[in-house]
């Protein structure tokens, strides 16, 4: 059922979270029509903004009782449409749950609510000599709850790993409103199934995490940042393989291609990259001061051996920021070249990068599309950016076809369809490229383990079964 909520339900929701925290005004709902993937837009029936585990539980119980779909939402920075509303559903947003509940410096742990902004956690723990390692590009706005839902990565996860490595415990609200505590530091010996690991990356389909316990790391003492300038993407790709193959463990290795360099240098974000370069590599090492110069020297030699025309090295925090600028502002700069941008996300084995990038370039030419690449090269996580104008239906159709070819290409070389943005609605159609029907069926079963009624974030992640009725319900097989 679409349209306004039943008046009684709306009253009950307002009594739980406060009258001001249930949004039904169509103008205010427009903000929630999409997440960072703006190509998809759907107006929700309402948005509810609880402030505690108890309120989330009660809201979920009420919506579940009314058989209304629930779309969990963090900051809405996701790039796969994971927080896209359903026309029948209600968004349950975690924006008001933004408290850092505790910082345990002795055990290097923090307990946070899901609406805490990623970068704020590091700011809060810095005085304790600690920080939170996963650093998605949107870290100044994205929230820990969203990071848990998407199992977010970031440039520095090459060395430090993605979100799931850092989440030690969760309090989650399940379908029906039941509150369940999963994992938790100090319970290593429990011998239980790893439900925390399974919940992380579930894209809002299993429930809503309302408290998140994360592991913190000691602040690194020093950092060295290099910028390698190459004539071709191929040479830059070989340099990445050479650096990793030499035994070095950089904190980050990011690649920026010619199209992106041109866009950045023509924008207000100009970072001083040579516009005739074919590619640039941002390489960063962090850790104890004593070994950093030696590591940077070795990486520089790798770059020069693979044909870098120049390797710059930052000698101050200002210079470091300048070297990173072209990478961090790339997406903003692309707005100058085209009104719309589809940020794709796939992972390939690192050694296949040069051939995959060459083929992506050919795909762009074949479809008459400009494709700019800026991505996490160290772990083979590609982000081809397809530039287009959404008002041009014919061009949009070419974007979709080119996307499909890029995904197929990445899978064909042993990669996958998403490395960090998640499946959401955007990649659901590609799931068949990496999973056969038996595996998709298992994903559906696992989803029903957590949410037998299928009210949490329907239409996301797993494509519908050809014949859903033929699948046994978990509740049936369990009995």
Partner 1 sequence: MIAAQPLSDLLPPEALASVDSSPLFGGRPPEAIVRPASVEEVAALLSWASREGVGVLTMASGHRVAPVTREGRFVALRMDRLNAIEAYEAADLTITAGAGAPFSSVTRALGENDQWAPFDPADVAARSLGGLVAAGESGPLRMGYGELRNHVLGARVVTGDGRTLDLGGRVVKNVAGFDVLKAVVGSRGGLAAITSVCLRAFPRPEVDRVLVRTEPTVRAAAGLALAVGTAPVLPASCVVVDRLSERGERAALVVRLHGSRATVDEEQVRMERHVGVPFEVVGDVGTGADAASSESTRRLLEGVRDHVKSDGTVVVASVRPSRLPRLLEVVDRLGPLALSCDAYTGLVRVEADPERITELDLLRRDVIALDGAIRQERISSTAMRGSADPLSPHDDRRDASAAGRTALARRLETAFDPAGALWPART
* Under rule CB under 8 A, residue 438 binds partner 1: yes
3-state secondary structure of 331: helix
Find the shortest distance in angstroms from Cβ 226 to partner 1. 17
User: Among 66, 124, 304, 446, which residue interacts with partner 1 (rule: CB under 8 A)?
Assistant: 446
User: Tokens 């494509």, residue?
Assistant: 463
* Under rule CB under 8 A, residue 297 binds partner 1: no
* Under rule CB under 8 A, residue 417 binds partner 1: yes
CB 451 within 8 A of CB 198: no
Take residue 233 and report the two structure tokens written for it: 């993407």
| Integer angstrom CA distances of residue 286 from 139, 163, 307 | 19, 19, 25
Q: Which residues pair with 211 in a beta bridge?
A: 171
Find the shortest distance in angstroms from Cβ 23 to partner 1. 30
**CA separation for the pair 152, 159 (Å, rounded):** 14
Where in 162-181 is the site for partner 1 (CB under 8 A)?
A: 162, 164-165, 174, 178-181
Find the shortest distance in angstroms from Cβ 151 to partner 1. 5
Which CB atom, from 137 or from 381, has the smaller least distance to partner 1? Answer: 381
Where in 67-96 is the site for partner 1 (CB under 8 A)?
A: none
* Under rule CB under 8 A, residue 421 binds partner 1: yes
User: Among 182, 279, 281, 282, which residue interacts with partner 1 (rule: CB under 8 A)?
Assistant: 182
Q: Which residues pair with 71 in a beta bridge?
A: 91
Find the shortest distance in angstroms from Cβ 185 to partner 1. 5
Characterize the bridge pairing of strands 90-93 and 46-48. parallel
Q: What is the DSSP string of 123-141?
A: HHHGGGTEE-----TTTTT
Which CB atom, from 18 or from 354, has the smaller least distance to partner 1? Answer: 354
Where in 326-385 is the site for partner 1 (CB under 8 A)?
A: 347-351, 376, 379-381
**Torsions phi, psi of 453, nearest 5?**
-85, -10
Characterize the bridge pairing of strands 90-93 and 100-104. unpaired
Q: By CB under 8 A, how many residues form the interface with partner 1?
A: 98
Site mask for partner 1 (CB under 8 A), range 4-23, x = bound: --------------------
Which CB atom, from 225 or from 267, has the smaller least distance to partner 1? Answer: 225
For residue 402, what are the contacts with CB-CB under 8 A and spacing of at least 6? 363, 364, 366, 367, 369, 371, 386
* Under rule CB under 8 A, residue 409 binds partner 1: no
User: Among 450, 455, 456, 457, which residue interacts with partner 1 (rule: CB under 8 A)?
Assistant: 450
Where in 250-279 is the site for partner 1 (CB under 8 A)?
A: none
**Torsions phi, psi of 338, nearest 5?**
-150, 150
């Amino acid at each position: 059922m679409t349209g306004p909520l039943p008046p009684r339900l709306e009253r009950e929701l307002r009594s739980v979270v406060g009258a001001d925290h249930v949004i039904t005004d169509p103008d205010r709902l427009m903000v929630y029509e999409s997440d960072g993937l703006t190509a998809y837009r759907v107006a929700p029936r309402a948005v509810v903004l609880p402030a505690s585990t108890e309120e989330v539980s009660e809201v979920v119980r009420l919506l579940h009782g009314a058989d209304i779909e629930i779309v969990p939402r963090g900051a809405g920075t996701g790039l796969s449409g994971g927080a896209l509303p359903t026309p029948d559903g209600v968004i349950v947003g975690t924006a008001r749950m933004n408290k850092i509940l505790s910082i345990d410096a002795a055990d290097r742990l923090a307990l946070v609510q899901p609406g805490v902004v990623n970068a704020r956690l590091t700011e809060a723990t810095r005085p304790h000599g600690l920080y939170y390692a996963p650093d998605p590009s949107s870290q100044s706005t994205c929230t820990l709850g969203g990071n848990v839902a998407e199992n977010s990565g970031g440039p520095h996860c090459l060395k430090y790993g993605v979100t799931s490595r850092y989440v030690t415990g969760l309090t989650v609200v399940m379908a029906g409103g039941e509150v369940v505590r999963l994992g938790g530091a100090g319970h290593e010996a429990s011998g239980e199934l790893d439900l925390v690991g399974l919940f992380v990356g579930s894209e809002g389909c299993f429930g809503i995490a309302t408290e998140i316990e994360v592991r913190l790391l000691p602040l690194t003492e020093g950092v060295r940042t290099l910028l390698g300038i190459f004539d071709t993407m191929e040479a830059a790709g070989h340099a990445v393989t050479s650096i990793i193959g030499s035994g070095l463990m950089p904190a980050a290795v990011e690649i920026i291609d010619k199209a992106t360099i041109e866009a950045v240098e023509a924008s207000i974000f100009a970072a001083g990259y040579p516009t005739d370069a074919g590619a640039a590599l941002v390489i960063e090492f962090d850790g104890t001061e004593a070994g950093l110069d030696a590591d940077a020297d070795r990486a520089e030699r790798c770059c020069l051996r693979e044909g870098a025309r120049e390797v710059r090295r930052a000698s101050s925090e200002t210079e470091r920021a300048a070297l990173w600028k072209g990478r961090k502002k790339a997406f903003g700069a692309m707005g100058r070249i085209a009104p719309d941008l589809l940020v794709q996300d796939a992972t390939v084995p690192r050694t296949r990068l040069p051939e995959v990038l060459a083929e992506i370039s050919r795909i762009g030419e074949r479809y008459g599309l400009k494709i700019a690449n800026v991505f996490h090269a160290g772990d083979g996580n590609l982000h081809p950016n397809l530039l287009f104008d959404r008002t041009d239906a014919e061009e949009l159709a070419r974007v979709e076809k080119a996307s499909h070819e890029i995904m197929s290409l990445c899978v064909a070389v042993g990669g996958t369809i998403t490395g960090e943005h998640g499946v959401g609605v955007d990649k659901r159609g590609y799931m068949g490229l990496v999973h056969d029907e038996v595996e998709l069926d298992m994903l559906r079963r696992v989803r029903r383990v957590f949410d037998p009624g299928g009210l949490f974030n329907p239409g996301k992640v797993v494509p519908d079964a050809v014949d859903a009725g033929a699948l046994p319900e978990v509740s049936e097989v369990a009995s």
